[in-house]
Structures are given as structure tokens and as C-alpha cells.
Amino acid sequence: MKALLYSDWASLGKSMKSFLFSIFMICGIVTFVSISNEGMDAETVAETIQSNIMATGSLMFAFFSFFNLFGQDEHAGWESVKLSLPVSRREVVVGRYLIMAIIIAVLLVIGAILGAAIAAIATTVKYGTVTIMPLWMVAVTIAIALSAALIYLAIEMPIFFKLGLTKARLYFTLPFFACMLFMLKPVQRFFEGLAARFGTIAEIIGNPAPILAILLVIAAVLYAISSIISTRIYEKREF
Amino acid sequence: MTREALNLRVDGACKTYGDFSLRQVSLEVPAGTILGLIGQNGAGKTTLMKAILGTINLEGGSVELFGKNPAELPEKELIALKARVGYVSAVTAFPQLVTAREVSRTYELSYPGFERGRFDEMCAKLSFDALDKPIKELSRGMGMKVQLACVLASGADLLILDEPTAGLDPIVREEVLDVLREWMEGDGRSILISSHITSDLEHLADTVVLIDDGAVLVDCTADEIAEMGVAHLRATELEQLLSDGGYAPGTLHVLKRDLSYAALIPDRHAFAEAYPEFAVDPAGIDDIMTLLVKGEVR
């Protein structure tokens, strides 16, 4: 397992340049758009910058890493060679789930620090005061982004382990299409109701942490179930 | 041969892919021997290697590594068994952006018997010094050297080598063959090697297995190959040979050439004694393969 994690990590390390470039672009665009909007106060600018860098920047690179790793498995037959090493197929699957979870968590933390730093600089320059998102809002953003990413991967990974990148590419947009269901009024009403209920519960408790914890636990459980399904699928796959 | 002394045993392996079938393939690789696998492109060599490595599932038959069937082992034992097998792919099948040094680290982390000093020694022997170059920048020969250095240092006792010398220049080929010969000096080691360059196998293999159209056509030792010959016969000489009854009908493989016939002779010394007036040369693996695959059975 260590070997697989090392190999994936070493490969992704080589993509650091593109990560830095994309995060630089996202930071630049988000900061420019936020500070050039005269209708925004310092708090809103900080929130916009930090949440976008955390959620969009970090998750975008996490998905890039996901495709990168599955792509290199197929390239030149690395998957066959990898399976000839003293590793089990279960380890290959669990290793990939682990590395993706680590990447997302690390990127969200980097995004949180970077976002706070940029928000502080931008608000100081524009408003003359250091303004950043409250820590609890950063935690909420991280928890929601992490849960969303884990749920997305929990759906996608079994498809990729079954078909490999080339064939599974056709299906990677499925969760995005699923999001289009939100355009339907009944779906919108359902989720608005759900959000309102959660809001009420959070108000009663006086703190959103328990709800976020439940969300994270649900995402983690789905992610774990997905890894079991992927292992079963992958054990039957031929190369 | 006891099963424990066999590093690899394939028994009646069957697998169908569309219109291709691996049909009842059996072979044995005892400890201390090299088995050369030959056959045309698409004959089933790589499919057989995949079955041995467990990357495809057999529909019939079985594979045993060191006396154990990998398909029946629990995970821990399977991993321990796989640590005794090193595989070299026909292409440099590593992630393209990582360096050769990082590939070696991957092997070091996965093979408990990996020796760093041995890896460095192998790199020196194979004149490989591009450890910090990304895999995508390595030539085929360089990539093959990385793969070989990794598996030779891995502590494996059985090497599965898929066309390790294809596309290499003669000097590198000779280096690779020397390194393999030297590796074989260790106790209980063995190699299964496929190659199109049959001259490599003539100098290396103890046993040669010819696969054609998914089935084993011939399985013979180096001594048996050394005994074989190719008789160059005129039409009348061929008729005489067939009518003499020295070879039972259906046992002689004959190929028509421009002005003569070539016949595969199992024992060229006995043949030369029986037919001193007929021309017979020692048969190389290429001759054997050509006559068995393309020849007509008479």
C-alpha cells in the first residue's frame, strides 16, 4: 500500500506547476472581481475570495488529480505492472481512495490559508482594515466542500474502477447532470425545506457543528461503501 | 519433479477473447532453469503471462507459483507470494512523469527483499545513469534497463520477462543477457522469457516452448533442440524419405522453398547416418518455429 501511495504522490507532485498556475489564476480572477465590485463590503469581499479559493480552486485541482491518476494507470500499461507488484487489488483500490481523500483535505487546508492571506491583503488594500472570514465559516466551507467532493468521488470511483478512464470519461459528468435536477421546482422546494429545517436545528442548538459533523459522517460512510463496491468490481476486472 | 521445486507450473490454461483462445496451455519452470517462450505476434504469449500474473482470470486450468495457486490464497499470503515474482513488461509501463529513482523507490517500498545496493550495482552494470530523468524522456533501451534493475534488485526468485530485448541494440542486448545469466547464479531462481529474437533464447534458455494460435506446439529442452536438424531435400529425396518409412506419416514438418524442401529432423545425427547423401544442418529456434508453424505435415 505504501508503494502505491508513494507512486501516486510522486506523480501528482510533478503536476505542481499546473496546480500553482490554476490556483494563481483562480486567486487572481476572484480577487479582481471581488475588489472591483463597489457594492461589496469588506466582509462580503473576504467571504467571496476565501470561499471561492477554498471550494473552487482546491476542488478543481482535486478533480484534476483524480483524472490524472486514472489516466496514468492506463498509460503504457502501468496498471498491469502495478498489479504485478506485491500488492493486492484491494490495496490498489483502498490506496486510491486514501490518496484522493488526503489530496482533497490537504488542498482545502492550503486553500483556507491562501484564501485568508489573499482576503486579508485585498481588504487591507481596498478598505484599510484586515478582514477575513470568521473561523467557523471557514470550517463550514471546508466541511461542505469536503463532503461534496467525497460524495462526488463515491459515485464516480466505482465507474472508473470498472471501466478505466478512457471509457469512464463518458460518465464523469453524470453527477453534474444530476445537479441540473435542481432546476426543477419540486427539487428546489425539497432542498429549500431541508435547508430551512437544518437552519432551524442549528439555531436551536446554537451552533452548526453537529449538522456539519453529520454531513461529514454521511459523506465518509458513502465514501467507504463506495470503496467496498470498487474493490468488488476491481477484483473481477481484467487487464 | 516435485511441485515445491517448480517455481512456475501452468496446467491446462484456457482463456477466450473474442475469436482468440488460449487452449490447454501447460508448462513448467523448475527452479534453476530458464524457459524461453516463442511464437508469432498474437500467438498467446502475453495472454499466458497475464494469466500467470493474475491480471486476467482463466476459464480453465490453473497456475501455480512456488507450489501454490495464487487464486486460492488469502490476501497476506498472496502478497508474500507475489514478492517472489518480478515482471518486466515489453514497454516501459511506469507513470511517465516520475523519475527512474522514484520508480525504484516504488519497488523498494513494495518488495520486502529489495536491496538498494543491488539496484545501484545493476544500474552500473547496465550503464544506466539517468536516475533523475522522467520516464517519458527515456529511450526504450533505458526504460528496459530501469525495469530490469528494479526486478533484479527486488529479491524475486522468478522473473517473467516479456520481450526484454526487443528493440535494443546488440550491445545493450548482450549486456541484458549477461546480467540475466549472472542473476541465475543465485539459488532457486528461474526465468520465463518471451522473445522474438530467438538467437537470444538459443544462448539463454534451458527449455523452449513454442505457442501458436493459443496452443503449445512444442516444448523441448536445449539438448533436444541441439539434436534437431533441417534437411534440405530435392523433391525426389523427400519422396524417398517418406516412402522409406523412417518417419511415421504425420510426423515430418516440411516446407517448400524455391528449389528444394526443408524438413525438420528430430535427430540430425541419426538422420545423417541413415541418409549420408542428404544435406542436413543444425536447426536453430527460428528454423524450428518456421517449420512447425508454416510447414506442411507429411
Of B55, B105, B107, which is closest to A80 when you measure between CB atoms? B55
Instruction: Give the sign of the dihedral formed by CA A208, CA A214, CA A218, CA A223.
Output: positive
CA distance B292 to B245: 21
Q: What is the ipTM of this complex?
A: 0.85
CA distance B214 to B93: 25
- Torsion angle of C-alpha atoms A25, A28, A34, A37, degrees rounded to 10: -110
Contact B95 A83 (CB under 8 A): no
Angstroms from B86 CA to nearest CA on chain A: 7
* Residues of chain A contacting B82 with CB distance shorter than 8 Å: 84-87
* Residue B41: predicted pLDDT: 85
Contact B97 A90 (CB under 8 A): no
Domain spans of chain A? 2-236
- Cβ of residue B155 closer than 8 Å to a chain A Cβ: no
Angstroms from A83 CA to nearest CA on chain B: 7
Interacting residues of A90 by C-beta distance below 8 A, sequence separation 6+: A231, A235, B75
* Residue B122: predicted pLDDT: 93
Q: Which of residues 114-133 of B touch A (CB under 8 A)?
A: none
Contact B95 A77 (CB under 8 A): no
Write phi, then psi, for B32 (nearest 5 degrees). Answer: 85, 10
CA distance A59 to A147: 11
Contact B87 A11 (CB under 8 A): no
CA distance B205 to B191: 9
Angstroms from B99 CA to nearest CA on chain A: 9
Largest CA distance in chain B: 67
- Cβ of residue B243 closer than 8 Å to a chain A Cβ: no
Residues of chain B with pLDDT under 50: none
Helix (H) or strand (E) holding B296: strand B296-297
* Residues of chain A contacting B85 with CB distance shorter than 8 Å: 84
Of B56, B79, B94, which is closest to A86 when you measure between CB atoms? B79
The H-assigned helical ranges of A16-170 are 16-36, 42-51, 59-74, 78-84, 89-127, 135-168
Q: Identify the residue among B52, B110, B160 best suited for mutation to test binding to A, counting A beta carbons within 10 A and taking the highest.
A: B110
* Residue B197: predicted pLDDT: 81
- Which amino acid is residue A160, in one-letter code? F
Q: Which residue of B has its CA nearest to A79?
A: B93
Contact A80 B97 (CB under 8 A): no
| Cα-based distances in Å from A88 to A81, A83, B148, B160, B292 | 12, 7, 22, 18, 40
* Residues of chain A contacting B105 with CB distance shorter than 8 Å: 6, 10
* Residue A179: predicted pLDDT: 66
* Residue A175: predicted pLDDT: 65
Ranges of beta strands (E only) in B114-177 are 158-162
* Residue B19: predicted pLDDT: 84
Contact A84 B94 (CB under 8 A): no
Residues of chain A with pLDDT under 70: 175-176, 178-179, 182
Contact B55 A239 (CB under 8 A): yes
Closest CA to B65 of B4, B139, B112, B18: B4
CA distance A105 to B95: 24
Q: Give the pLDDT confidence of A95-143 residue by residue, as tens digits.
A: 999 999 998 988 889 889 999 999 999 999 888 889 898 888 888 888 8
Contact B93 A76 (CB under 8 A): yes
Angstroms from A104 CA to nearest CA on chain B: 21
Please tell me what DSSP assigns to residue B283: P
